[in-house]
A and B are shown apart, each in its own frame.
Chain A
Amino acid sequence: MGSRTRREFLQIAGVGGVVFASGLLEACSGSGSRPDPGPTAADDFYFVQLSDTHWGYQGPANPEATVELPRAIELVNALPQAPDFVVFTGDLTHTTDDDQERRRRMAQVRDHLARLRVRTVRLMAGEHDASLDRGAAFQEYFGALRYSFDHKGVHFVVLDNVSDPKGILGDAQIDWLSRDLKAQPKDAPIVVFTHRPLFDLKPDWDWTTADGSRAIDVLHAYPHVTVFYGHIHQEHHQQTDHIAHHAARSLMFPLPAPGSQPKRAPLPWDPAHPGKGLGVRDVDADPRQPSYKLREIPLAAET
């Protein structure tokens, strides 16, 4: 891919009405850094992570709740080179007890996502999408809750830790994960997408997966594993031994840093800076290392 051109683009403030804060670019290197590759080899690629749109949310944490998803789509479509794929790490919709309304929200999200000018969109559920009906509506509109796929030398695994309302993976899925990975060479680059953190980030805020340690135990046998997740509505990076875990920003409202306030209530809306704390993530993947270079791209100017 023409990554140098794309990086130059990302360092230019103001594209399609979206300001990229250069100080936030290349803010984090996932599984190790690598030198600028220059003209990029054919097996490099990049993808974009979107998360936690909560389509249908109505509340003071975002009085412009219908703005952010279209804005994120415009942002992705404005990139000078389309990503290989876009992954959406759950909570596409905000929950509702009304099954018809849930489906209406999913249909609207599906229609918005159809405007993404990318070849592939990979979707997964959050608890707001799937916990109240164990994923029935999500599967009707978006397909499987868990699956794996391969792309340019990287093995990707999508885990479902939300369709059981207890927020667990369950025995069957952990067995499936073990079997799925056994087909891979031990040194294969593996990327896991999930909604909740697999580790105990902040259990008393429900920022955990009750049996996530069992999945981590399975993944631990593989030396090149990186996890991307959502749920906590903020950028966050943590290691469990050699496994890196990266949480993405939301597209609806930011949540406080773990333990920074008594309750996990959304951060107050800032009318002077609409969209503050929201954003998307751009991930440069180099399967040869393997390494993942992350860029956090705010939806709007934040200063």
Chain B
Amino acid sequence: MRLAALLIALLAAGGPPENPGERVVHVVARKFAYSPDVIQLQLGVPAIIELTSLDRDHGFSVPELGLRIDVEPGKTARVRVVPGKVGTFEFHCDVFCGSGHEEMAGRIVVSASAAMGGSGGR
């Protein structure tokens, strides 16, 4: 089952902070890209994906994982993820944001190794 690929807890925008010690990956959304556009996660290691928008309403949707959240200016959207499966999972903006919307996408890469290059995490 796709939803079983990751154990996901959605935290409401502006909700409680992450558990101490959990890794946070900051992602900035703007027309028409995410930065970073590749999110590296480790199998079984919880992480918070924290999203902000620099311009207008965007979305963050990972259909294969049954995951989506709104990303709105002035708010911080947080998604807690516990990767349960190695693989690459595409994400995209699903709130139409203008000419270039169709190119606004990225991917989550879940690896079994500890390599975290380019993740934007801390």
Contact = CB atoms under 8 A, between A and B. Distances in A.
Interface of A: 94-97, 127-128, 131-132, 162, 165-167, 200, 203-206, 208, 210, 263-265
B102 A165 contact: no
Contact of B97 (A162, A165, A264): A165
B90 A167 contact: no
A165 B95 contact: yes
**Interface SS, B side:** mixed
**Interface SS, A side:** loop
A132 B94 contact: no
A205 B62 CA distance: 10
Contacts, number: 46
Nearest to B89: A204
A204 B90 contact: yes
Contacts of A132: 96, 98
Given A165-B57, A166-B59, A131 B102 contact: no
B105 interface: yes
B99 interface: yes
Interface residues of B, number: 19
Interface of B: 57, 59, 61-64, 90-92, 94-99, 101-103, 105
A302 B102 CA distance: 27
21 contacts: A94-B99, A95-B96, A95-B98, A95-B99, A95-B101, A96-B98, A97-B98, A132-B96, A165-B57, A165-B96, A166-B59, A166-B94, A167-B96, A200-B63, A203-B61, A203-B63, A204-B62, A206-B102, A210-B94, A263-B103, A264-B102
For the complex of A and B, list the 10 residue pairs with the smallest distance between their C-beta atoms, beginning with the closest. Answer: A131-B96, A203-B63, A165-B96, A204-B90, A127-B96, A204-B63, A165-B95, A95-B99, A166-B95, A97-B98
Contacts of B92: 204-206
Contacts of B99: 94-97, 128
